[in-house]
Amino acid sequence: MRLPLRVLNRRTGVVTTVGLDEYLYGVVPLEVSRAWPPAMLAAQAIVARTYAVSRRSSARRYDVVDDESDQRYGGSAVATPATNAAVDATSGQIITFTGAAASVFYMACCGGHTEDAGELWGRNLLPYLRGVVDPWCAGTPDYRWRETMLAHEFLNALGPDAASIGSLLAVSTADLDPSGRPRKVVVRGSARSVELAVGELRHALGARVLPSTFIRQIALDSQGGVVIDGAGRGHGVGLCQWGARTMAQQGHDAGSIVRFYFPGTIIARA
């Protein structure tokens, strides 16, 4: 598909114009493994194409950035036969809602329930971005995780609040959203207690410590360390890549995968 797309190289500031499918040749292999089933690669290509189309804008000098702030793009050097075939097989296909390109997102693993975009970003009430129960990613590498920290490491990560909290006495989740993700984490200290939005905590600790905001439990262990049990990897909105892989392995085609994660949408030609 030759629809032009302007790609900003974040490092150099240079904007390059490429055809849409040429762009996808350099995106899909960086977002998923070329060894994954063809139906999953095709679904990824459709979602990535839709994302790019929805980002086209005459209000700025570029449409997309070449890193995680949009989609990772490596140019022709990263292209593979399997991912190119997925792009070619779906050429021109995008996800639509009420006749326009949908606003779509994806992440590595939702942990069993995708997130409602309105819960995460507080602004998007599109019906196809509501959270859905996802049985498909169960048992995959990112489905469940555990992180442990020393109490002082945890407190120090909180920044200016740490000194006024005192000794760490307890930490817990609060105010679960419909997906089961906590909206808040309560930190109780010997001097005072604080409540943090879970997004604030993830920002403070970093994505390596908290792969997602789907914290199933956070508590102190017998030695006073902080133990965090969580689920999924990424923001949780939209297509769950590990779940889509399982769907493809079990015989679902790209269209079925897209409709599962974006209910009410239609795949059409751009």
The fraction of the chain above a pLDDT of 90, given in percent, is 92
Q: Which residue has the higher pLDDT, 164 or 267?
A: 267
User: Rounded to whole angstroms, how far apart are CA atoms 261 and 124?
Assistant: 16
pLDDT value, residue 159: 86
SS3 268: strand
Give the tokens for residue 49.
């194409």
Read off the amino acid at residue 117.
A
User: Rounded to whole angstroms, how far apart are CA atoms 15 and 37?
Assistant: 33
Long-range contacts of 84-87 (CB under 8 A, 24+ apart): 84/25, 85/38, 85/41, 86/28, 86/38, 86/41, 86/42, 86/44, 86/45, 87/21, 87/24, 87/25, 87/28, 87/45, 87/49
Beta strands in the chain (DSSP E): 4-8, 15-19, 64-65, 93-97, 100-101, 106-107, 144-149, 168-176, 182-189, 193-197, 215-220, 226-231, 239-240, 266-269
Torsion sign (Cα): 64, 68, 71, 75: positive
pLDDT per residue as tens digits for the range 75-88? 999 999 999 999 99
Whole-structure pTM value: 0.94
| Band of pLDDT at residue 122, cut at 50, 70 and 90 | confident
Q: What average pLDDT does the segment 56-60 reach?
A: 92
pLDDT value, residue 104: 97
CA distances from residue 156 to 49, 125, 152, 186, 262 in whole angstroms, order as listed? 42, 36, 6, 16, 40
pLDDT value, residue 79: 98
pLDDT value, residue 224: 87
